[in-house]
């Protein structure tokens, strides 16, 4: 991702859409590494809380964002685990606007013990909270702006529907909403 952002910056890109829809996550460390690409300073990326209520924040150390251009993150009910942690980190630190639908809500930290018969025992030992202390597990993250992926109602959408060569991305109403949010952010940047 770092290389891609550097390339895009060299080509004059002024805003970004990070599409985490239907991203089931993966390694939490990878999500935190991606968050650090977009943030400066010593921001909290995520918090963990154990069953006794002990909270542990995971903070950046002297972070330096590759770009400060406006960022919108697309999320939906298929965005889970590390992708939710990434979205929460960038949103709660004021770096990104979230567009889409409420995320899946997978924020458990589990210890895995393999048993003698090859099966495994998963024990939940803690859970993740966003930097603003919002519970992710079984709750999900609610976006700033909702969109309706299957219903296109804007004038631009009507033109795209009538154009048989329009790509799925061009006719995706969530992307259209994200583009609108970026236009607002860019106009605020030029007005100040």
Choosing among 3.40.190.10, 3.30.420.310, 3.90.226.10, 3.90.870.20, the CATH entry for 2-147 is 3.90.226.10
Q: What is the DSSP letter of 118?
A: S
- For the chain, the first-to-last Cα distance in angstroms comes to 30
What confidence score (pLDDT) does residue 188 get? 87
What confidence score (pLDDT) does residue 148 get? 77
C-alpha to C-alpha distance for 158 and 147, rounded to whole angstroms? 16
What confidence score (pLDDT) does residue 65 get? 97
CB of 86 closer than 8 Å to CB of 139: no
C-alpha to C-alpha distance for 162 and 158, rounded to whole angstroms? 6
CB of 137 closer than 8 Å to CB of 168: no
What confidence score (pLDDT) does residue 192 get? 46
What confidence score (pLDDT) does residue 171 get? 62
pLDDT in tens, 121-155: 999 999 999 999 999 999 999 999 999 755 444 44
Please list the alpha-helical segments (H only) found in 58-154: 82-92
Report, as residue numbers or ranges, the catalytic residues: 81, 106
Cβ-proximal residues to 118 (8 Å cutoff; 6+ apart), any chain: none
pTM of the model: 0.85
Only one residue has tokens 């985490």, namely 20
What confidence score (pLDDT) does residue 189 get? 77
What confidence score (pLDDT) does residue 170 get? 53
What confidence score (pLDDT) does residue 167 get? 55
- Name the CA dihedral angle for 28, 29, 35, 36, rounded to a multiple of 10 degrees: 160
Residues of the chain with pLDDT under 50: 151-161, 164-166, 192
Strand pairing class (71-75; 55-59): unpaired
């Amino acid at each position: 991702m770092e290389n891609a952002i550097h390339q895009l910056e060299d080509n004059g890109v002024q805003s970004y859409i990070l599409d985490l829809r239907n991203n089931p996550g993966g390694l939490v460390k990878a999500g935190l590494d991606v968050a650090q690409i977009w943030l400066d300073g010593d921001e909290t990326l995520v918090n963990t809380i154990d069953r006794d209520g002990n909270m542990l924040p995971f903070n950046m150390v002297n972070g330096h964002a590759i770009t400060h251009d406006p960022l919108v993150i697309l999320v939906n009910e298929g965005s889970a685990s590390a992708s939710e942690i990434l979205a929460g980190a960038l949103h709660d630190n004021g770096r990104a606007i979230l567009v889409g639908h409420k995320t899946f809500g997978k924020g458990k930290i589990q210890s895995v013990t393999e048993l003698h018969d090859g099966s495994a025992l998963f024990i939940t030992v803690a859970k993740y909270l966003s930097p603003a202390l919002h519970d992710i597990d079984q709750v999900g993250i609610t976006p700033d702006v909702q969109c309706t992926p299957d219903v296109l109602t804007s004038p631009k959408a009507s033109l795209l529907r009538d154009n048989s060569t329009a790509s799925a991305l061009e006719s995706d109403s969530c992307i259209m909403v994200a583009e609108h949010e970026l236009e607002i952010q860019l106009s605020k940047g030029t007005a100040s």
